[in-house]
Chains A and B, each alone.
Chain A
Amino acid sequence: MSTSQQNGICKKKLRLLVVEDSLSDAEIQVAELRRNGFDVSADITDTGDRVREFLATISYDLILADYSLPNFSGMETLDILREKHLSIPVILVTGALNSETAVECVKQGVTDYVLKDHLARLSTCVRRALEETRLRQERARAQEQLAQKVEELARSNCDLEQFAYVASHDLQEPLRMVAAYTQLLAERYRGKLDDSADRYIGYAVEGATRMQALLEDLLAFSRVGRNGFVRKPIHANVAVDEALRNLTIAIKEQGATVTRGTLPTIVADRVHLVQLFQNLIGNAIKFRGQEPPRITIAAEKQGEEWAFSLSDNGIGIAPEHRDFIFKMFQRLHTRAEYAGNGVGLAICKKIVERHGGRIWVESELGHGSTFRFTFPATAADRTDMKEADHELAQDLVSR
């Protein structure tokens, strides 16, 4: 809405529709507004048809309507507005109106009402109604922008993840060929060619094997939260059992023992929950100290969250590295010391955060580590995270 200059005074421009059968009453209302800082241009009518005609051609800032007219009721104006999906504020300007009727009218969508013998209130009402409309429009615009951003982001993430998945997936086959045949070469021809050949083949094998491991890790990372991330109530013990089954060989070889306290049922994606435990337990076994690995898993309810802990008696982590280790591809040791690509904990972090939790570590060098992570305790049983994002976007737009 704009302002206009008149005698050096700024007046607010107001495009007004007055639904009133008494011309003189209408003129009084317009005059009242003009006296109070409004630059009014008004149309006056008292029939539904004319109201429709006016609304079709002109964009009004406000409607003043009499409650009862011979040909038309002021409330019917609201119906017409709803029909045309217009959200112009309506102020009822009327003779006597009992308070119940007044309240009913407001409930039905009238912004405010003013009695004809109390017209002094009119300009304040009008100002308030216009301000509310302005705020509402701004808010809707902001939310629409936000919703758009959310959708764009979701789409962009989706694209990226798909790219990562396809790239890694398609790279696996030719890589497998290189890895397999360089290994075969190494086995068949070791010592039969010259020393350089043995060395070169060795480097080729090493390169290929590392690429394979890297691709597997990348695939695992990109798999977290791709389409179809299905969260259901699952008992943590089930996930731990499966993780331990997958780690059978390592557990046996290192003589590891895993004990657990009472664990809860949480809402999570089963595959990812297993992966989470598997990575953490696997690390605890891999980075063992002198003694056989002893791992303890526990959980306790803290407010609206379940706080899990996974403690080990391994080599521990220096405090300055506590955040670093969760980053992609960050390692604290050379490959000669410990195998791995440094993706395991990044995957754990992604899984936990995807579920709405946090993960961190408490540790000291030489004194083992305790990894702590949280899962929301009362997540609504929402499936597909992408669906959830989309729902959020829709919701914002429709407000």
Chain B
Amino acid sequence: MSTRMDVDILLVEDNPDDLELTLHALRREHLANNIFTVRDGEEALEFLFCNGKFEDRDSDHPPRLVLLDLKLPKLNGLEVLKKIKQDARTKAVPVVILTSSKEERDLVASYNMGANSYIQKPVDFEQFREIVRNTGLYWMVINQQPMSSPAQSAAAAASH
């Protein structure tokens, strides 16, 4: 099980078509060595907080990016976002909402809740791929990610 290794991107997506498109677009650009997928909000939180199914995960290595859909079974995306951004252990992890919702209130709520960015999934297949590709490029290459964990940041801080 690859949960022990460093996960670059955590993809939280329950729609199988969207999932496949997203994975394909990301893999084509070689943006991430290790993309892990969960299908609902509960699993997403278990993964990030290293409990439940993912107890054996190392909490010192959160993913470098979370791509989070809003419409999820068990626990919706906004709830997941809230839990991530309100916990000191995970609030620094970049979370990009990747959703089909066009509701302004979802957008505003997401940014208010601390989402790093909000992307609307285009209906068109080509545009979808293009947007995922550019999102991946920006967040994995241009953007500087935080150190893996508070402990590691502290260690890094001591070295500067």
Question: Which residues of the other chain, A, contact B160 by a CB distance below 8 angstroms?
Answer: 228
Contact of A228 with B33 in the complex, beta carbons under 8 Å: no
Contact of B159 among A230, A241, A245, A248 (CB under 8 A): A230
Residue of A nearest to B30 (CB): A248
Q: Give bound CA distance, A76 to B35, whole Å.
A: 74
Contact of A227 with B159 in the complex, beta carbons under 8 Å: yes
Question: Which residues of the other chain, B, contact A248 by a CB distance below 8 angstroms?
Answer: 30
Question: Which residues of the other chain, A, contact B142 by a CB distance below 8 angstroms?
Answer: none
User: Is residue A326 within 8 Å, beta carbon to beta carbon, of the partner chain?
Assistant: no
Question: Which residues of the other chain, A, contact B155 by a CB distance below 8 angstroms?
Answer: 228, 230
Q: Which of A223-266 contact B (CB under 8 A)?
A: 226-230, 241, 245, 248
User: Is residue B123 within 8 Å, beta carbon to beta carbon, of the partner chain?
Assistant: no
User: Is residue B1 within 8 Å, beta carbon to beta carbon, of the partner chain?
Assistant: no
User: Is residue B88 within 8 Å, beta carbon to beta carbon, of the partner chain?
Assistant: no
Least Cβ–Cβ distance between B2 and chain A, in angstroms: 14
Question: Which residues of the other chain, A, contact B30 by a CB distance below 8 angstroms?
Answer: 248
Q: Give bound CA distance, A238 to B30, whole Å.
A: 18
Q: Which of A73-118 contact B (CB under 8 A)?
A: none
Question: Which residues of the other chain, B, contact A245 by a CB distance below 8 angstroms?
Answer: 33
Question: What total of A-B pairs shows CB separation below 8 Å?
Answer: 14
Question: Which residues of the other chain, B, contact A229 by a CB distance below 8 angstroms?
Answer: 159
Least Cβ–Cβ distance between B137 and chain A, in angstroms: 13
Question: Which residues of the other chain, A, contact B159 by a CB distance below 8 angstroms?
Answer: 226-230
Query: What range describes how many residues of B lie at the interface?
Result: under 10
Residue of B nearest to A384 (CB): B158
Contact of B158 with A241 in the complex, beta carbons under 8 Å: no
Contact of B158 with A227 in the complex, beta carbons under 8 Å: yes
Residue of B nearest to A232 (CB): B155
Q: Give bound CA distance, A226 to B30, whole Å.
A: 34
Q: Which of B16-72 contact A (CB under 8 A)?
A: 30, 33
Q: Give bound CA distance, A227 to B155, whole Å.
A: 10
Q: Give bound CA distance, A229 to B160, whole Å.
A: 10
Least Cβ–Cβ distance between A298 and chain B, in angstroms: 23
Question: Which residues of the other chain, A, contact B156 by a CB distance below 8 angstroms?
Answer: 228
Q: Which of B103-160 contact A (CB under 8 A)?
A: 155-156, 158-160
Q: Give bound CA distance, A317 to B137, whole Å.
A: 39
Least Cβ–Cβ distance between A245 and chain B, in angstroms: 8
Q: Give bound CA distance, A228 to B159, whole Å.
A: 4
Least Cβ–Cβ distance between B115 and chain A, in angstroms: 27
Residue of B nearest to A229 (CB): B159
Least Cβ–Cβ distance between B158 and chain A, in angstroms: 4
Q: Give bound CA distance, A227 to B157, whole Å.
A: 10
Least Cβ–Cβ distance between A350 and chain B, in angstroms: 15
Residue of A nearest to B157 (CB): A228
Least Cβ–Cβ distance between B30 and chain A, in angstroms: 8
Least Cβ–Cβ distance between A219 and chain B, in angstroms: 11
Least Cβ–Cβ distance between B53 and chain A, in angstroms: 24
Least Cβ–Cβ distance between B3 and chain A, in angstroms: 16
Highest count of chain B CB atoms <10 Å: which of A227, A228, A241, A248: A228
Residue of B nearest to A230 (CB): B155
Residues of A within 8 A of B (CB): 226-230, 241, 245, 248
Q: What are 14 residue pairs bridging A and B, where the CB atoms are less than 8 Å apart in the complex? A: A226-B159, A227-B158, A227-B159, A228-B155, A228-B156, A228-B158, A228-B159, A228-B160, A229-B159, A230-B155, A230-B159, A241-B33, A245-B33, A248-B30
Extra A-B contacts (4), CB below 8 Å, given A228-B155, A241-B33: A226-B159, A228-B160, A229-B159, A248-B30
Closest 4 A/B residue pairs (Cβ)? A228-B159, A228-B158, A230-B155, A227-B159
